[in-house]
Amino acid sequence: MSTVVLLACTGLGLGALYFLVASGLSLIFGLMDVLNFAHGALLSVGAYAAWWAATDGGTGFWLAVVFGTVVGTAASVLLELALIRPLYVRPRDQILATVGVGLALPALLMGVWGSDARPFPQPAALSGTVGLLGATVPVNRFVLMAAALAVLVALRLFLARTRYGLIVRAGVEDRAMVTALGIDVRRAFTLVFAIGGAAASLGGALAGLYFGSVNPSQGTGLLIFAFVVVVMGGMGSVTGAAVASVGVGLVQQFANYYTAAGLGDLSVVVLLAVLLLVKPRGLTGRLA
């Protein structure tokens, strides 16, 4: 029983990390029809910014997380303004450009700090464990779950209750009409990119807590599963991404423990294939 509880909590923590990455990816693609392959690089930027702030910067853990999130958000806005905005009507060029950025940023991080993993400082309050139904569970798993839940609630409120959320949704349906009403859709789209980058960089900062270290390719590895989550949840559905993240994290952890090592990744691919055969548009296939 204790093993099942531990695996479940670890799977939920990993699923929470996937959701932090996938939520921004789903939001950007669902609202703006931009397939951002540089999203994983933004996670790495947030992770290294948080690591630098916690080590060389001498800040506390939470301030380091805030710093990493801010830096990743700024990088996301810069990416949208300088690269994505001129290519909104050229989707093929968007893909090539974001793939290039996705390769260049990790290479830049590798050139500055090397390719070896850097230990991420663990605050004393989050490095311990708690007892749950006979299992000893690391505290940081619950931190990731809480962060993912907060991001989910915030995104749903943004889309349903805020002016910019409604503008973005309307702009996706009929951009010309919204522009004719005198509303600057471009500003709303930049805000969406900023929110997506903030979620990814927050995931990067907390990934250091989960894995205990950061490395330049960390974002690329997590991006693969984030794409799986987005497809499973339904393109553009934040809620679907949350549900899919839980499923992917749990399947991966249980399969890795009860079968041969490495079969967890294969199990996720099989789960994706079965789901798409049953529901080709994913779990929800809609926004919100």
| pTM across the whole model | 0.87
Cβ distance 120 to 214 under 8 Å?
yes
Spell out the residues 6+ positions from residue 70 whose beta carbon is closer than 8 angstroms to its own. 49, 201
1, pLDDT greater than 70: no
Specify the DSSP element, H or E, that contains 201.
helix 185-211
Q: What is the CATH number of domain 2-116+123-278?
A: 1.10.3470
Work out the average pLDDT over 63-77: 90
- CA–CA separation, 259 and 137 (whole Å): 22
- Residue ranges covered by each domain of the chain: 2-116+123-278
Backbone angles phi, psi at 132, to 5 degrees: -145, 110
Q: Where are the beta strands (DSSP E) in 74-165?
A: 118-119, 129-132, 135-138
Compute the mean pLDDT over every residue in the chain, rounded to the nearest whole number.
Answer: 81
What does the alpha-carbon distance between residue 53 and residue 30 come to, in Å, rounded to a whole number? 33
Smallest CA-to-CA distance from 83 within 23, 42, 31 is with 42
CA distance 131 to 190: 44
Per-residue pLDDT at 31 exceeds 60: yes
Which of the listed ranges 106-115, 131-140, 232-241 does the model predict with the highest average pLDDT? 106-115
Look at residue 287 and tell me whether its pLDDT is greater than 50. Answer: no
Sign of CA dihedral 140, 122, 46, 157: positive
In the three-class reduction of DSSP (H, G, I as helix; E, B as strand; rest coil), residue 53 is classed as: helix
The encoded tokens of residue 168 equal 């973005």
**Residue carrying the six token digits 């294969």:** 266
Selected residue with higher pLDDT from 216 and 174: 216
pLDDT over threshold 80, residue 265: no
Residue 67: the pLDDT is 92
Question: In 10 A of CB 244, how many CB atoms?
Answer: 30
Interval 182-240: pLDDT, tens: 666 677 778 888 888 898 888 888 888 888 888 888 888 888 888 888 888 877 678 88
Percent of the chain with pLDDT over 70: 88
For residue 266, how far is the Cα from the chain centroid? 21
Give per-residue burial for 7-41: e unless 16+ CB within 10 Å, then b.
Answer: bbbbbbbbbbbbbbbbbbbbbbbbbbebbbbbbbb
Which residues, 6+ apart, have CB-to-CB distance to 50 below 8 Å?
64, 65, 67, 68, 69, 120, 204, 205, 208, 214
Which pLDDT tens digit goes with each residue over 119-136?
888 877 777 776 777 667
